[in-house]
Structure 1
Amino acid sequence: MCTPGTRFLCLILLLATSLAPAAAQQAQEADMLRLLVTADEYKEAWFSDALLQQLNPSQFQQQLNQLLSDIGELEFIDGDDGEYSIFFEEAVVSSTIVLDERGQITTIWFRPPSPRANSFDDLLGQLRELPGETALLVLTDGERVAEHNADAPFSVASAFKLAVLAAAVEALDAGELDRSDVVYLEEQDLTLPSGIMQEWPVETAVTVDTLMVQMMSMSDNTATDALMRILGRDRVHAFASEALPVVPTTREIFTLLGPDARDLADEWAGAESRQEYLALLDRTADREMGRIRDFTGGEIRSDVGWIFSASELAALAGQVAGNPTAGVTQGAATGAGWSDVVYKDGYVPGVAAEVVHGRSNDGRTYTIVLLWNREDEDVDVLALYGLIQSAVRLTE
């Protein structure tokens, strides 16, 4: 719970979001954040009437000034869709902001500053301070320049979708699929968010291109499962980690982690052979898939999911680089001026993954992977995102 004396400010009111076009909205949000962190005096006109009932602008400014003390001058603001990283000389501050149709603030949230890394050694030091298990891999033109647990297996959540994309690219290159091919959603494809396609009716006609774009842009789980069905589990498995005997669909994982299959999840954690894993996945067909509320504040099971090492994810990013779908979302590379970008993240309770790859203006190719697993508590996904943004800036 937030109190006036804490250094963690959170004021979240889920009200109307801006209807402005995305680019204009991004500029408006960034400009407002710039005002909040640099202005000598706040104006009530910046805040919606509803938010003014929850905060006093002068007191809020005092709290924010305390939060931002001793981290240097503002350098730049990076982000979009209401989620931003504010870079100061000594630290990065993550912020959430929502503006209404009049440009007034309805939601504002600042997280505590994360020290800004001035070298990959600094970055590694910050990563090692995180509770739980972490991994780092930085490649420059394919050569390792920084690493920590880079070859150890980690649960990576949706970052596994790089393997699905790699399998799809292989099928496209072989002429076995075409981006314009039309397929039809099946009942077995429909799963839980992230994404929107779980709301689409069975037998909806979609192209392979739509599935690939939805998977990478929105991390759409239904699009992912449909692609896996079309490609075949074995083809996707060819791009999987050595530590993952079989690649489950998102629906299968949501079933394993749901309340109707806890016994299967326990068996999954102790399975040793591909045959055992496949048999368990077959048994999920008779169990009910979990619901969204089952995964909110519940048990953390980083031992049930998709397992990859940082080096394996880096290799996948390199394989799909140059494919237009791979960089449909720039993520941590936003504003870096990179080309041939590949970006994929992943998060479930206790698990966070960040993967970014691209070619900088100097012609060098960079790949950065950060992984974080905890068994006792949830991970701070925004903290990991701040670290990978710092890593990208170190390449400039």
Structure 2
Amino acid sequence: MRTVPKPARILAAAAVAVTMTACVGRPAPVQATAITAFGTDIPGTPAGGQLRWLLDAAPRAPIPASELGEHFTADFLKNIPADQLNQVLAVFKDMKLVRLTQQQDRSLVARIAVGTLPYDLSLTVDGTGRISGLRFQSPTPRSWAELDERLGKAAPRTGLLTAEPAKDGTCRPLHAVAAGKARPLGSMFKLYVLGAVAERIKSGAFGWDTQLTITPELKSLPSGELQDRPDNSKVTVLEAAKLMISISDNTATDLLVHKAGRAAVERTMRAWGAADERNVPSLTTRELFVLKGADYPKHAKRYLSLSDGRQRAYLKSVVAKVPLSQVKAWTAPRELDTIEWFASPAQICRAYTGLVKLGDKRIAEAMSINDAGLGLDKGTWPEVWFKGGSEPGLIDMSFLARTAGGKTYVTTVMAVNPKTPFADPHATTELLSLARGAFTLAGDS
């Protein structure tokens, strides 16, 4: 889910902590001799020259596209356009260089600080001297104790589980923090939609190549892209599933819920352990937007006052008829404990084992498109699945990762602040670093 097009959302999805690569472009000016910035020597290498420019340029954001084109490769800017890149640089405009931790002619890693927050900045350049890769990451925790301490500071309500899935579908915990406490999921509920779709396909109800029609009544709000396609255009079940997982496309999600059936999603949630009564009825994304954003709190209060059966009727007779144009974005946490989807970190691990047990390669295709910039070494961790969720006051992340040696681990991190929104991307990068640290610690155990 995404209700507000904040820079924080864009950064979390597209740029911050995401490795971005490119391979073509013309040479950019680089420093020929060593320079000193903030008391630290920057090498006179192509990578060092671009770091010097970056430290100078970030406080000036937004930087003209022409200047960015002199310092970033064409492929980099194709993947991360100038407007998004400027939002990244604006977030880090106050960064100060603390020290260089690794350096070669065409790559380096630097420890920077934004206020009191530390980050590792990784920068690479191509043969022409232009930046082909840029990553901002919170430092990876080195122990479970450090991870727990940092998690506790991330939000008033948090949960974490790192576990090793077993063949029988259970999860063997390696480390847990409030792992049995159900919390709001945001778009992480789409794991259950994918499971319901795959189970219906396995039963022969329809196929991955079945065409879905994007009708006006099934369109939702961003995130996503299908809401912008012409009314009554077509998309396959497989394409919708990939968009639902990789870019959290809400219209794709609602199309799939409509095809599989709300009851099928509810059955999958129950079967995979997410039996919280608040999950019935299981909402579509459009319904959640209307309940929380249209004439709030009128529809929300009425809906919450009804029994399950009457809630279903209210969704069909009232909520379905509210135009999306009446939905107003909300910036403060709203109904996080009542109008959402709910599961615990332990139940999310069970959802991942359920997806694996279905044995459908299309599931793996969808789940492995986007790893959220987790930053695990691809040689050590060749396969990573990801699904997250967010709305004001909520950031959730869940991953499945497999080692080159065949070990599989699932990590879920949940952070909820029912009173205050996460106003910047630093919370997102911090949770990513905690998830990365959890896998690293699990792999070393």
Fold match, TM over 0.5? yes
Find the aligned partners of 1:284 and 1:262 in 2 and give their Cα distance: 13
Partner of 1:351: 394
User: Which of 181, 190, 204 does residue 152 from structure 1 map onto?
Assistant: 181
Shift of 1:26: 11
Shift of 1:302: 1.4
Contact 2:333 2:393 in 1 (8 A): no
Q: 1:186-225 CA distances to partner (integer Å, 9 max, x unpaired)?
A: 1122111111110011211111111111111111111000
Shift of 1:54: 5.8
Shift of 1:155: 0.7
Change (3 A) 1:123 1:263: same
Partner of 2:101: 73
Change (3 A) 1:270 1:354: farther
Find the aligned partners of 2:41 and 2:438 in 1 and give their Cα distance: 25
Partner of 2:141: 117
Letter of the aligned partner of 1:252 in structure 2? E
Change (3 A) 1:332 1:311: farther
User: Which of 202, 215, 239 does residue 186 from structure 1 map onto?
Assistant: 215
Aligned-CA RMSD value: 4.2
Find the aligned partners of 1:260 and 1:62 in 2 and give their Cα distance: 38
Q: 1:249-275 CA distances to partner (integer Å, 9 max, x unpaired)?
A: 11001111114242222344566x422
Change (3 A) 1:345 1:74: farther
User: Which of 29, 32, 39 does residue 42 from structure 2 map onto?
Assistant: 39
Letter of the aligned partner of 1:201 in structure 2? P
Moved more, 203-212 or 326-335: 326-335
| SS of structure 2 residue aligned to 1:215 | helix
Structure 1 length as normaliser, TM-score?
Answer: 0.74
Percent same amino acid at aligned positions? 22
Moved more, 251-260 or 283-292: 283-292
Whether 2:319 is the aligned partner of 1:295: answer no
Q: 1:69-119 CA distances to partner (integer Å, 9 max, x unpaired)?
A: 6xx83599xxxxxxxx9889xx9627799x9xx9878xx997xx8553112
Contact 1:332 1:356 in 2 (8 A): no
Whether 2:188 is the aligned partner of 1:162: answer no
Change (3 A) 1:114 1:329: closer
Shift of 1:24: 1.2
Alignment of 1:20-35 (within 5 A): 23-24=21-22
Q: 1:32-63 CA distances to partner (integer Å, 9 max, x unpaired)?
A: 9xx9998358759946998785699xxx9996
Q: 1:122-167 CA distances to partner (integer Å, 9 max, x unpaired)?
A: 2122212233211111102431111111121111100000000111
Find the aligned partners of 1:38 and 1:49 in 2 and give their Cα distance: 15
Partner of 1:129: 153
Contact 2:332 2:421 in 1 (8 A): no
Change (3 A) 1:62 1:209: closer
Find the aligned partners of 2:259 and 2:297 in 1 and give their Cα distance: 29
User: Which of 294, 305, 308 does residue 274 from structure 1 map onto?
Assistant: 308
Whether 2:227 is the aligned partner of 1:198: answer yes
Shift of 1:239: 1.9
Structure 2 length as normaliser, TM-score?
Answer: 0.67
Find the aligned partners of 2:120 and 2:249 in 1 and give their Cα distance: 24
Whether 2:292 is the aligned partner of 1:242: answer no
Change (3 A) 1:309 1:52: closer
Find the aligned partners of 2:293 and 2:150 in 1 and give their Cα distance: 34
Whether 2:334 is the aligned partner of 1:305: answer no
Find the aligned partners of 1:199 and 1:62 in 2 and give their Cα distance: 33
Find the aligned partners of 2:399 and 2:143 in 1 and give their Cα distance: 18
Letter of the aligned partner of 1:124 in structure 2? D
User: Which of 354, 360, 363 does residue 319 from structure 1 map onto?
Assistant: 354
Partner of 1:80: none
Contact 2:144 2:438 in 1 (8 A): yes
Partner of 1:5: none
Letter of the aligned partner of 2:222 in structure 1? P
- Aligned residue pairs total 348
| SS of structure 1 residue aligned to 2:253 | helix
Contact 1:260 1:288 in 2 (8 A): no
Contact 1:317 1:342 in 2 (8 A): no
Find the aligned partners of 2:412 and 2:110 in 1 and give their Cα distance: 21
Q: Which runs of 5+ in 2 are unaligned?
A: 1-7, 64-89, 166-170
Contact 1:356 1:369 in 2 (8 A): yes
Partner of 2:436: 389
Contact 1:255 1:290 in 2 (8 A): no
Find the aligned partners of 1:239 and 1:342 in 2 and give their Cα distance: 19
Letter of the aligned partner of 1:394 in structure 2? L
Change (3 A) 1:94 1:248: farther
Q: 1:367-393 CA distances to partner (integer Å, 9 max, x unpaired)?
A: 000111111111333322222122223
Find the aligned partners of 2:223 and 2:62 in 1 and give their Cα distance: 32
Shift of 1:284: 0.9
Whether 2:305 is the aligned partner of 1:258: answer no
Partner of 1:4: none
| SS of structure 2 residue aligned to 1:129 | helix
Contact 1:320 1:342 in 2 (8 A): no
Whether 2:320 is the aligned partner of 1:285: answer yes
Q: Whose relative contact order is higher, 1 or 2, with alpha carbons under 8 Å and at least 6 apart?
A: 2
Change (3 A) 1:125 1:299: closer
